[in-house]
Amino acid sequence: MMSTILDIYPSRVAVPAGFIPRKDPAVYSEVHSGGTGYLTEDEVAFYEENGYLCFQNLFSEKEVSNYQQELQKLKESEATKRSSEVILEPGSSEVRSIFKVHQSNSIFRRLARDRRIVDVVSFLLNSAVYIHQSRINYKPGMHGKEFFWHSDFETWHMEDGMPRMRAISCSISLSENNEFNGPLMLIPGSHRYFLPCVGETPENHYLQSLRKQDYGVPDGDSLQWLVDQGGIVSAKGPAGSATFFECNTMHGSNSNISPWPRSNVFYVYNSVENALTQSFCGLSPRPEYIATREVEVVEPL
């Protein structure tokens, strides 16, 4: 059912509609001289301007080793591959993503509540937060497929009913991310513009889009303009690094034809004041494991 809330970010339109200037702040809290206790004044200014922040070695080698062991156990489990919350690589039986790990796995549930993450997102959003979505992304060596350019907010808004741009993603590297193994790529400053995408969303689109997205992706001319303005950066770094990026920042990743796998755990934190409504594209809600509707405040550990 279509949302009854005024849609200030319309998308999935019949013809290209051009950019809509962002109507929401990127940083919701006031920044005082000297920083916040979690971020420096310069870091907050960089995030507001560019739509992302990268921190190398946010987690220790010992912590990362524990996460890597759990990652491998999940990947090798036959029960994992049979779960509806697991997405396989296109044309393959290899695991691409495992969803809802903040609820289904005790180790990754605790990581989702780590103060080093939660304090940052709570400050930037000036709000208590809950987890809208979580997943592990595997990108196996030689065969890991790409994620095409997209704004997460465009999908979360249209298909899940997220009203405003008040959410942040945190991607934590559980293996080295380098220029060869398909690291996360971002377009700095792209969060300042909402790009309506063309095409009517099919019912149950998520069954295909989580493997290969065909709707909610930018047109070439608009993507070229964004890159001309901001360029492209890649979130490279050793295992244990973390990248925070604003929900409307345009991002994607190349396929991995290197022999080195690339794995990340990914959490989306949404403000409790920005809880989901009905879909803005008129479709049935996506499953709870993709878009959480039960608001459980994340208490930092």
**How much is the pLDDT for 204?**
61
Give the separation between CA 141 and CA 51, rounded to whole angstroms.
29
Which CA distances in Å does 71 have to 76, 135, 174, 187, 292? 9, 11, 9, 29, 22
Average pLDDT over every residue of 218-230: 94
Residue type, 53: L
Residue 65 has pLDDT above 70, yes or no: yes
Average pLDDT over every residue of 224-237: 96
Smallest CA-to-CA distance from 209 within 169, 156, 143 is with: 156
Residue 248 has pLDDT above 90, yes or no: yes
Average pLDDT over every residue of 138-151: 85
Smallest CA-to-CA distance from 172 within 57, 290, 61 is with: 57
Whether residue 246 contacts residue 131, with contact meaning beta carbons closer than 8 Å, is answered with no
User: Which residues fall within 8 angstroms of residue 225, CB to CB, at 6 or more apart?
Assistant: none
Residue 34 has pLDDT above 60, yes or no: no
Average pLDDT over every residue of 147-175: 95
Residue type, 107: I
3-class SS of residue 136: strand
Domain map of the chain by residue range?
A: 54-274
Classify the phi-psi angles of 39: left when phi > 0, otherwise alpha if psi is within -120 to 50, otherwise beta. beta
Give the separation between CA 122 and CA 286, rounded to whole angstroms.
25
Tokens of 286: 């996506």
Question: What's the pTM?
Answer: 0.92
Residue 146 has pLDDT above 90, yes or no: no
3-class SS of residue 31: coil
Residue 48 has pLDDT above 60, yes or no: yes
Residue 10 has pLDDT above 60, yes or no: yes
Give the separation between CA 182 and CA 231, rounded to whole angstroms.
17
Q: Please state the φ and ψ torsions of residue 191, each to the nearest 5 degrees.
A: -65, -15
**How much is the pLDDT for 198?**
84
User: Which residues fall within 8 angstroms of residue 274, CB to CB, at 6 or more apart?
Assistant: 127, 162, 163, 164, 166, 167
Q: Which CATH architecture has domain 54-274?
A: Sandwich (2.60)
